[in-house]
């Protein structure tokens, strides 16, 4: 390939082919971006689309994997020691505008290292973003480099960030079982857990609303005339719903001066629970204590068979097939009658 312009800096070759629109760094195609504008927009977009936490994992994973390629490349150059490779890489990055990176300690035996980063491009992007803490790309990138150099999975711990007011960023590297894949899976599990928690909270909220609505609509008290009240039994009753109905009925009967309580079983669930018979017994016994007589209506042939099979004893109560019959009965007991005009 023909190069129009070429320059050597610190034994590193830079070249341009302006006709083809190519920039080469060490013979490889490269690109140039403005850090605080174009690259900032790139980082901002990743965070905007995926969210802050996922964006950190994306940059961390990308940085590590790119670094691993670099580390493995230098590790395969047999005539270069690990220490020399580490220093050569930082010099190369410095020439490419990655900022100052100094490897202050490499222990090949322990497979550890300490790196000081200063005025790197990620730091400049974070400054432009107005952030208070540093990013994950470069710390993870060098973890990938050392993983390639040591042929061992290396992870990192940031001891301080330059953006927090320190002279430089200090990152320690060491062998670890932590991998970028595990971090990705942990993020997915975390997001799934958050979504499950959100849905559970929504379900709980809607359940509370529904229960409140059911309590409001369930078994309303319907006054017929003064002294006669109808309460329809609706659906299926458990212990909680049974106690609520008994309490609600006993608390409201005095306001209607009720002498007769007509329990309408028409809407009762045919799959009767033990709480159903208990409800009828308790309600009849409790209302009699405050001077109210309980009348049962809405007992169809089918329901009567079911109640007999369940051994529900209604012999001490007045029972009628329809609500109309029960109201006529209560009227008669009060000395009233319905006259058709």
Domain ranges in the chain are 33-178, 219-333
What pTM was estimated for this model as a whole?
Answer: 0.57
**pLDDT at residue number 233:** 86
Find the angle CA(34)-CA(36)-CA(41) to the nearest 5 degrees.
90
Residue-wise DSSP of 34-67: -IIIIIHHHHHHHHHHH-HHHHHHHHHHHHHHHH
pLDDT of residue 248: 87
**Which residues on neighbouring strands pair with residue 171, listed in sequence order?**
115, 158
| Predicted pLDDT of residue 142 | 95
For residue 267, give every residue at least 6 positions away whose Cβ sits within 8 Å of its Cβ, in sequence order, or none: 232, 233, 234, 235, 298
Q: Which CATH architecture is the domain 219-333 placed in?
A: 2-Layer Sandwich (3.30)
Task: Tell the CATH topology of 33-178.
Answer: Muramoyl-pentapeptide Carboxypeptidase; domain 2 (3.30.1380)
Residues 220 and 232: their CA atoms lie apart, in Å, by: 7
Give the per-residue pLDDT at 314: 76
- Strand blocks (E) in the chain: 5-9, 12-17, 22-25, 28-30, 100-107, 112-118, 154-160, 169-175, 222-225, 228-232, 260-264, 293-297, 318-319
Q: Residue 59, exposed/middle/buried by CB under 10 A (0-12, 13-18, 19+)?
A: buried
User: Under DSSP, is residue 110 helix (H, G, I), strand (E, B) or coil?
Assistant: coil
> What pLDDT is attached to residue 218?
60
Cα 152 to Cα 158: distance, rounded to the nearest angstrom: 19
Contact 144, 89 (CB under 8 A): no
Answer whether 304's CB lies under 8 Å from 270's CB. no
CB within 8 A of 175, min separation 6: which ones? 111, 112, 150, 152, 153, 154, 155
Residue-level pLDDT at 141: 95
pLDDT tens, per residue, the chain with 341 residues: 566 788 888 788 888 988 888 988 888 888 888 999 999 998 999 889 888 888 888 899 999 999 999 988 887 775 678 888 888 888 888 888 899 999 988 999 999 999 999 999 999 999 999 999 999 999 999 999 999 999 999 999 999 999 999 999 999 999 998 888 877 766 566 666 666 667 677 767 776 666 665 565 566 788 888 899 999 888 888 888 888 888 888 888 888 889 999 999 888 877 777 888 788 888 888 888 889 999 999 888 887 887 788 777 777 888 898 899 999 888 888 887 766 66
């Amino acid at each position: 390939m023909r190069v129009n312009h070429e320059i050597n800096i610190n034994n590193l070759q830079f070249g341009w082919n302006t006709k083809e629109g190519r920039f080469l760094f060490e013979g490889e195609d490269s690109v140039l971006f403005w850090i605080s504008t174009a690259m900032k927009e790139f980082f901002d977009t990743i965070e905007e689309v995926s969210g802050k936490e996922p964006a950190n994992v994306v940059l961390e994973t990308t940085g590590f994997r790119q670094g691993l390629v670099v580390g493995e490349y230098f590790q395969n150059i047999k005539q270069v020691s690990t220490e020399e490779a580490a220093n050569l890489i930082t010099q190369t990055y410095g020439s490419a505008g990655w900022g100052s990176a100094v490897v202050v300690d490499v222990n090949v035996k322990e497979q550890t290292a300490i790196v000081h980063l200063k005025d790197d491009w990620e730091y400049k992007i974070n400054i432009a973003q107005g952030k208070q803490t540093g990013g994950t790309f470069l710390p993870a990138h060098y973890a990938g480099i050392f993983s390639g150099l040591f042929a061992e999975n290396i992870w990192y711990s940031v001891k301080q960030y330059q953006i927090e007011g320190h002279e430089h960023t200090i990152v320690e590297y060491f062998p670890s079982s932590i991998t970028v894949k595990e971090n990705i899976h942990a993020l997915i599990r975390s997001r799934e857990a958050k979504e499950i928690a959100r849905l559970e909270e929504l379900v709980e909220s809607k359940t509370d609303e529904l229960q409140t609505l059911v309590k409001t609509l369930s078994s309303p008290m319907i006054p017929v005339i003064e002294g006669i009240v109808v309460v329809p039994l609706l659906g299926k009753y458990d212990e909680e719903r049974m106690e609520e109905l008994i309490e609600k009925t006993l608390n409201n009967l005095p306001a209607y001066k009720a002498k007769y309580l007509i329990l309408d079983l028409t809407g009762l669930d045919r799959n009767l629970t033990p709480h159903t018979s208990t409800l009828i017994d308790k309600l009849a016994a409790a209302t009699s204590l405050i001077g109210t007589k309980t009348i049962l209506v809405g007992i169809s042939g089918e329901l009567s068979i079911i109640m007999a099979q369940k051994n529900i004893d209604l012999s001490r109560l007045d029972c009628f097939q329809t609500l109309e019959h029960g109201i006529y009965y209560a009227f008669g007991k009060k000395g009233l009658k319905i006259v058709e005009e």
